[in-house]
Amino acid sequence: MVLAMFWFFIGLWHLGIVTMSLLGAFIGSMDDWVLEPDCQGSACHEEWRDSFTTCAGTYRATYRIRYLTIGMLGLIFGAMGFQGVLSRSSGMVKSFLYFWLAMIAMFIVLFIWDELYQEFCDKLPRNMQLDVEMFVSRERWTVMRAQGINSLRNVNTHRLNELVGFDWNAMYVTWYSVVILVMAYWCREISKYVKNVDEGPVGLGANFVISNKPDREVQVMAERMSEAVTDYYAAVPHFQSFPELEDGVAFPYIKKGRAPVPSINYGTMGIPRPPPKREL
């Protein structure tokens, strides 16, 4: 449920940034989502194809893909995962798991795309630029603004290490690797949860999903543990009788001791209890 709510609010935040940029609230980022004028005809299409293969044409490509995809799918599948946990619906939780896997694949593709962009264009794409700018300290920003640099958009990559004060590419690779590893870990945990919802605890199988109680599994396991404890402490005792019967092996059923007494105290050979005294 926490992971589902996390993706829901992450998607809401991404859509909020896109909406505010379109409304002009962030003046510096209005051009990220500016609407292109209508273009018709083969000349316009040829111009569009040429711009798509240039550094300027693909500068915001990964940024738009990331924010629009997470913004829309994060809201949908975040709400679906939350509802799936509440209703113990394996189908909804599986859909939430597939969404995680799709996000991992998308992050890997965008990471490779951004790395190739900065390698061939010698500048940072918009998506990588915003991520790197988050790690720049205020002191470095003060120095860069004094030099007339307000963003890292037009800065060549071979100058970035000197400007930001750290190895930006190593930081970016490490950050992306950690994010992908964490997401892969939670995908495994969500997969275990889906299997648990399908099969249920203590072998209940498909009958377990009939109940809509979110704590059904905990209640069933608590009942099983309570029954096990009751069986242990309230069980009928079985005493060891063999040591008492060993004395009856020797004939004539008399214990070995100081006084000859019967080895079986509940009657010997049909003699009533207590046995009569022997007459001399």
pTM of the entire structure? 0.62
For range 102-129, the mean pLDDT: 89
Does the pLDDT value for residue 93 go beyond 50? yes
Question: What's the CA gap between 227 and 167, in Å, rounded?
Answer: 61
**Of how many residues is the chain composed?**
280
262 strand-pairing partners = 254
Give the best-scoring range by mean pLDDT among 78-92, 98-112, 246-260: 98-112
Same-domain status, 57 and 195: yes
Tell me how far apart the terminal alpha carbons of the chain are, to the nearest angstrom.
Answer: 91
Given a cut of 70, whether residue 256 has pLDDT beyond it is no
Whole-number Å distance between alpha carbons of 232 and 254: 38
pLDDT band at 51 (very low <50, low <70, confident <90, very high): low
pLDDT band at residue 20, thresholds of 50, 70 and 90? confident
Mean pLDDT of the 222-226 span: 85
Residue 125: CB atoms within 10 Å: 24
pLDDT band at 206, cuts 50/70/90?
very low
- Regarding whether 263 and 139 lie in a shared domain, the answer is no
Residue 123 structural domain: 2-34+51-199
Answer yes or no: do 97 and 157 share one domain.
yes
Q: What is the DSSP string of 163-230?
A: HHSS-HHHHHHHHHHHHHHHHHHHHHHHHHHHHHHHH-GGG-GGGGGG---TTHHHHHHHHHHHHHHH
Say if 239 falls within a structural domain. no
Same domain, 159 and 270: no
pLDDT band at 41 (very low <50, low <70, confident <90, very high): low
Instruction: Examine the domain organization and report whether 165 and 262 are in the same domain.
Output: no
Asked if residue 215 belongs to a domain, the reply is no
| C-alpha 28 chain-centroid distance | 36
Q: What is the mean pLDDT of residues 159-171?
A: 83
What percent of the chain shows pLDDT beyond 70?
67
For residue 174, tell me if it sits in a domain.
yes
